[in-house]
Copies of this chain bind each other. A is one copy, B any other.
Amino acid sequence: MTPAAPAGGRPAVILFSGGLDSATVLALALGEGWKVHALTFSYGQRHTVEVERARDMIARHPVARHAVADIDLRIFGRSALTSDEIPVPAARPAGEIAAGAPSTYVPARNTIFLSYALAWAEVIGARDLFIGVNALDYSGYPDCRPEFIAAFEALANVATRAGAEERARFTVHAPLIGMRKHEIIALGMSLGVDYGATTSCYDPDTHGRACGRCEACGLRREGFRLAGVADPTTYRP
């Protein structure tokens, strides 16, 4: 049974992929008393099973509403996250991660995600968006940096009726942006996040089991190790 949404609380839109980071952000926002509107994207090659797992996780939390937006970025061409044709690369050494955007980079992905979140926020009268980006472990992604978050906030305040007419200020909360993966895990454990139900893998199988060798799996494994927490991830054989 879905827990009832909290009666009070200001509305907020939370980008929720069902991954480790966004599950932590969800727990944080709920803990702070926000009336959570969770937004999940189904896009490109992402397995239906991942979206179903996201739905299952959301169903166990007292959110006001969960929306799943279907977008197909494959109309523009290829990327390891959106095309079935390109193999997912294995984890890279930390130095290489810092050197530039990896091949799993999806052009303008977080811009598109936040645009949808902004639309929903305006419809429900919310002024707060939450996104689980992380500038340290994913320094190669331009749209995971503080400058990106600040630029999107500035855009939100001129792009919307709320910003233009009511002088309402939008805030893009990126509470994990300066944290390392093991710090995120430690925070999430203190909030009761069930990480065994989260998916981070770039290349899960049709049962949602992680590959254990892509960059996301590598960072996640290392995070649990450094946090001193048993890794609850189900890896495929």
Given contacts A159-B111, A164-B142, contact A67 B72 (CB under 8 A): no
Q: Which residues of B contact A119 (CB under 8 A)?
A: 73, 76, 106-109, 111-112
**Any B CB within 8 A of the CB of A158:** yes
Closest to A108 in B: B119
Determine the distance from Cα of A166 to Cα of B236 in the docked complex, in whole angstroms. 38
Question: A75: which of B69, B108, B163, B165 is its contact (CB, 8 Å)?
Answer: B69
**Any B CB within 8 A of the CB of A237:** no
Determine the distance from Cα of A107 to Cα of B116 in the docked complex, in whole angstroms. 9
The answer to whether A159 touches B165, judged by C-beta atoms less than 8 angstroms apart, is no
The answer to whether A115 touches B108, judged by C-beta atoms less than 8 angstroms apart, is yes
**Any B CB within 8 A of the CB of A215:** no
The answer to whether A142 touches B116, judged by C-beta atoms less than 8 angstroms apart, is no
The answer to whether B105 touches A161, judged by C-beta atoms less than 8 angstroms apart, is yes
Q: Which residues of B contact A105 (CB under 8 A)?
A: 161
**Any B CB within 8 A of the CB of A122:** yes
**Any B CB within 8 A of the CB of A6:** no
Which of A71, A157, A161 has the largest count of B CB atoms less than 10 A from its CB? A161
A-B contact pairs, 27 of them (CB 8 A): A68-B75, A73-B119, A76-B116, A76-B119, A76-B120, A76-B124, A77-B124, A79-B123, A101-B161, A105-B161, A106-B119, A107-B118, A107-B120, A107-B123, A107-B160, A108-B118, A110-B159, A111-B155, A112-B115, A142-B160, A142-B161, A145-B164, A147-B158, A148-B158, A151-B158, A151-B159, A155-B155
